[in-house]
Amino acid sequence: MVLLGLAGVELLRHAGNTQALKDAKNNTRIAARGVVEPNLTPAIVSGDRAALDRFDTIMRSSVLQPPIVRVKIWAADGRIVYSDERRLIGRHYALSADDRAVLSHRGVEAEVSDLSRPENKFERGQGKLIEVYTGINGPDGRKLMFEAYEKQSSVTASSRNLWLTFAPALIGGLLLLQLFQLPLARSLVRRVRRAGEEREALLRRAVEASDQERRRLAAVLHDGVVQDLTGVSYGLSAAAKKDALPASIANEASSELRGAVHQLRSLLVDLYPGGLHGTDLRSALGDVAVQLERQGVSTTLEMGIDEPLAEETEELVFRAAREGARNVVKHAAASCATIRLSSTASHAIVEVEDDGLGLPDGSGIDGPGEGHFGLALLRDLLVESGGALELVPAESGGALLHVEVPLR
């Protein structure tokens, strides 16, 4: 609204200047046609002093009124036939192309007076002037030119008065429009805010429902099949010690059962990592390392944190390590990887480094092509919680995922 108001005022100011110049031209045309032409005589044109005196009296009483400060009448040969400045009468000066054009078609022109020209030397002490000139017909049919000089300040004042007359109406109209729009804008803001709150509530309910379902599935697996398989594993080991069945068969079955239990525990953590806490974090990260080992990637786990972390922090740490391991398997074609956990005063640091193919030019979390949707989601989650994530080339030639998780 402010920009519209300023633009409107500027347009009014321009229109005021245009109208003020137009008024100056009209005043000069009226003076030329209504006063100068009817009172010109051959004697005035020929330079008769008595005729010039009578004409000067008429000009001073009818034309030479503020804001007009000087008048001149020119002949086609550049001679000044009349001027209220008597020292100019009879002198010759070169006419410009514009002057000659006005002499021929009787139009009206206006411009800022060039006071450096010799014919304007007697006007130099009066400030900036606007000269308005028009062609007139002399008493014997000769073409003459009438020229009037006005103070530019009077034109500017006239322009200012014109646009100041309309500016309050423009600004007032804009203010009324703004006042009319305020209730609508307030209503729209409330509706948008309410819709956003409803969307957030729906999202929270969806996340909570998903979290509850995942927790329920994790509990069912943990309390059911995992316990059963663990019991079978212990039973087989005990039977093997008592020679109740061949040791080789018992050991093989026990090993397979332990592998199944390990996979189920990994699935439990995937389903609901919120169950991590304290020493379980080392076990969960160990499961991530084992999964990498199963994919043929020799993996080292470096734990630089011994004290338990807050539950939310552990969950983010685990998710970062798991997503980094997934990307190693999917993209790196690596033979070795390291999962590293350390801390600063304010953040837990998770790093997953590999010796694989590295990062091609232009690739990255938001780079073109397939690949890092999971990392992008993890990064958004970390940013919301005050953390950070970056994927950069590693010194080994592979890739390094560096994640900072705020300590809570």
List Cα–Cα distances, 236 to 20, 223, 249, 264, 331, in angstroms.
109, 20, 9, 19, 40
The per-residue pLDDT of the chain, averaged, comes to 82
Question: Coil, strand, or helix at residue 75?
Answer: strand
Q: How far is CA 186 from its chain centroid?
A: 24
Question: Coil, strand, or helix at residue 365?
Answer: coil
Architecture of domain 276-406: 2-Layer Sandwich (3.30)
The pair of three-digit structure tokens given for residue 240, joined into one six-digit string = 């093997």
Q: What is the pLDDT of residue 80?
A: 95
In 3D space, the residue among 246, 291, 238 whose CA is nearest the CA of residue 269 turns out to be 291
Q: Residue 334: is its pLDDT beyond 50?
A: yes
Q: What is the pLDDT of residue 369?
A: 46
Would you give the end-to-end CA distance of the chain in angstroms? 47
Burial of 321 (0-12, 13-18, 19+ CB in 10 A): buried
CATH for the 2-160 domain, from 3.30.450.20, 2.60.40.420, 1.20.58.220, 3.40.50.150: 3.30.450.20
Q: Residue 224: is its pLDDT beyond 70?
A: no
Q: Domain residue spans in the chain?
A: 2-160, 276-406
List Cα–Cα distances, 360 to 230, 288, 307, 363, 391, in angstroms.
45, 26, 38, 6, 12
pLDDT confidence of 279, banded at 50, 70, 90?
very low
pLDDT confidence of 275, banded at 50, 70, 90?
low
Q: What is the pLDDT of residue 278?
A: 47
Helical residues (DSSP H) of 130-279, grouped into ranges? 152-221, 227-241, 247-271
Burial of 143 (0-12, 13-18, 19+ CB in 10 A): middle
